Structure 1
Amino acid sequence: MTIISDNARAIYAGTGRRKASIARVRLVPGSGKLIINNLPGESYLQFSRNYMRITYGPLKTLGLSEEYDIFVNTQGGGLTGQADAIRLGLARALCCINPENRTALKSEGHLTRDARVKERRKYGLRKARKAPQFSKR
């Protein structure tokens, strides 16, 4: 959630996390293009309408779809986690632009961090909760 000034151009940043995914999102005033890890957004998200809908959700809520270029560095997890991380980072960056955006984004659930992560494996068990087979005799 930082504001960086680059030669009279404002760059708004936000970080989003989901499961094992981390997305660093930068918003620059522009024409509405999406670049993820130096690839076009549609190509990176495998042309999935669902992933695109999730990613552009905060911009659609505020009606700013064609106002900002989005540059994302993301790593970890899979495409679903990365799409949700991008959505959260984008929503946080939009809150930097105008604090009044927060109420609309919060009511749509774009600012809620989904805290569910994979449970760690415990010793003596095969997975987080799966126990070895028990034999009575």
Structure 2
Amino acid sequence: MEITNTSGRRKTSVARVYVQAGQGNITINDRDAKSYFSNELLEAIVNQPFTTLDAVGKYDVRVNVRGGGISAQAEAIRLAISKALVAENAEVRPALKKEGFLTRDPRMVERKKYGKRKARRSFQFSKR
């Protein structure tokens, strides 16, 4: 199997993922996944596509991710890995689609409007 290259996005995070057959090593920005994500929950989010397909330890993943917070980065990586697995084997698509791993979350930060303190929060109103 050759290297499969895909990308995933979430909020302002962009993850570029390179997946190939291997021993299950996940490298994020030249660091191990355990050292990159201090929280085990975020590491579990990244591994969800593999656990769903019972493919833990079958693929090596190299990730280049930038932008956003670590939670958005983890979800961007999950989307990119899911897309790569589908590109490599189309039969896994229904299982990943059912779990929602192939859906790009469209929610973005709402912009600040003029005449307001934040996107929706108004300035304090004083009646007198």
If the TM-score is normalised by the length of the shorter chain, which range does it land in?
Answer: over 0.9
TM-score relative to the length of structure 2: 0.95
Letter in 2 for 1:105: L
Aligned to 1:92: 83
Unaligned runs of 5+ in 1: 1-8
Q: TM-score, normalised by structure 1?
A: 0.89
Of 32, 38, 41, which residue of structure 1 is paired with 2:24? 32
* Residue 52 (str. 1) matches residue 43 (str. 2): yes
Runs of 4+ in structure 1 deviating by more than 2 angstroms, as ranges, are: none
CA distance in structure 2 between the aligned counterparts of 1:42 and 1:102, rounded to whole angstroms: 27
Instruction: Report the equivalent of 1:76.
Output: 67
Q: Percent identity?
A: 48
C-alpha distance in 2 between matches for 1:52 and 1:33: 13
Residues 12-31 of structure 1 mapped to structure 2, 5 A cutoff = 12-31=4-23
Query: 2: distance between equivalents of 1:22 and 1:51?
Result: 16
Q: Structure 1: how far apart are the matches of 2:120 and 2:98?
A: 36
Tell me how far apart the structure 2 counterparts of residues 55 and 114 of structure 1 sit (CA, whole Å).
15
SS in 2 for 1:124: coil
1:65-106 CA-to-partner distances (Å, cap 9, x unmatched) read 111100000011111111111000000000100111110100
Q: What is the distance in 2 between the residues matched to 1:55 and 1:135?
A: 49
**Alpha carbon RMSD of aligned pairs, Å?**
1.1
